[in-house]
Amino acid sequence: MKRESARRTSKTTKLGYNERHAKSGITAPLPSIETFPNQYKGYEITIEIPEYTAICPKTNLPDFGTVTIHYMPNKACLELKSLKMYIHAYRDLGIFYENAVNRILHDVVASCRPVWATVTGGFTARGGLSSKIEAKYP
C-alpha cells in the first residue's frame, strides 16, 4: 500500500518527466508586447504566426508550429513588430506546447486587455503525432 501511494504522489513519471520540465519556460523573461491605441470597436483581428519554434524541455529537440492569435481589441491593439520579437524569443526557450499557448494568451491579455482572445497552436508532427492546443480568454 505504501509503495503504491508513493508511486502516485511521485513528481517524476516513468518516462522521467518531472516538475522542472513541467514548469520550464513559464516564468522566463520575454520581450514585452507593445500596443497602440485602438480607433474602432466591434471588430476582430487574426494574426497567424507560421514560424513558431521552441525547444522541448525534456528532449532538447526543436518544436515547430503555427500560432494563431484571434482577438477583439478593446482600447489597444497588438503592435506586430514587438509581437514578432516576442514570439522569436521562444526559439531558445525550453517550454511544452501547452505552456507556450497558455503563456502567449496570458501575455497578450496583459498587453492589450482585449474584449476576448483565443490563442491556438498547431504543432507539426513528431513520431506520427501532431497537437493542437487552444486557450481562451475570458
112 as an active site residue: the answer is no
129 is in an annotated binding site: no
Which member of 63, 77, 92, 107 is catalytic?
Answer: 63
Q: How many Cβ atoms sit within 10 Å of the Cβ of residue 122?
A: 17
79 is in an annotated binding site: yes
77 as an active site residue: the answer is no
Show the cell assigned to 90.
Answer: 521562444
43 is in an annotated binding site: no
Closest C-alpha to 117, from 75, 68, 81, 80: 68
98 is in an annotated binding site: yes
Q: What ranges in the chain are assigned the alpha helix state H?
A: 2-9, 19-23, 80-88, 97-112
Which member of 56, 77, 107, 112 is catalytic?
Answer: 56
The annotated binding site for substrate is made up of 78-80, 97-98
Any idea which residues carry the catalytic annotation?
56, 63
The annotated binding site is made up of 78-80, 97-98
